[in-house]
Amino acid sequence: MYKVRTSYLKRKLNPEWNEDLTLCVEDPNLPLKLEVYDHDTFSSDDKMGFAEFDVKPLLDALELISQEEEQEGILNDTIVKKLIPSRTNCLAEESFIVFKNNRVVQDMCLRLRDVKNGELELQLELIHDVGSKS
């Protein structure tokens, strides 16, 4: 299991991290899981909920864009794919995968599970590892 941790913010009801985190996705067929905790100084941290998201649509979009670029090129700010919320995902609203400034990015708002309410806003960017064999 691969883990990264953000910094913690003191006394924030609606914290904003604005941090860049890099994750290595070994199996794109498995969803990524985010766990949210409330930091406690003198006791163990309290779990606030979790959310999962699928990276496979982002990879599929990259493959589609690669094919399009070979044929005719693709315009900046082109929406490549639209994902809709469902019972099987944690999306709180529609999410778009977009080709922007020669990058494939996805903005998403995830609804936390195992908690009354709570949402996470993320932007995903796919970085192809130049050392990989694919």
* Structure confidence at residue 5 (pLDDT): 67
Residue 74, pLDDT score = 79
In terms of residues, how long is the chain? Answer: 134
Model-level pTM? 0.76
Q: What is the pLDDT of residue 134?
A: 46
Q: Are 26 and 2 in contact (CB under 8 A)?
A: yes
* pLDDT value at residue 3: 66
Which pLDDT value is given to residue 56? 93
Burial of 64 (0-12, 13-18, 19+ CB in 10 A): middle
pLDDT for 105 equals 94
CA contacts within 13 A on the Cβ side of 74: 21
State residue 110's pLDDT score.
96
Q: Is residue 131 part of a domain?
A: no
Which pLDDT score, from 0 to 100, does residue 86 have? 93
pLDDT at 46: 74
Residue at 25 is within a domain: no
Residue ranges, the chain, pLDDT below 50 = 130-134
Distance in angstroms (rounded) separating the CA atoms of residues 2 and 122: 18
Query: Does residue 80 form part of some domain?
Result: yes
Determine, yes or no, domain membership for 96.
yes
Give me the number of domains the chain comprises. 1
Closest CA to 4 of 46, 33, 39, 29: 33
Range of the domain at 108: 32-38+45-125
Report pLDDT digits (tens) over 113-131: 998 889 999 999 987 554 4
Task: Judge whether 76 lies within some domain.
Answer: yes
Burial class of residue 110, CB neighbours in 10 A (0-12, 13-18, 19+)? buried
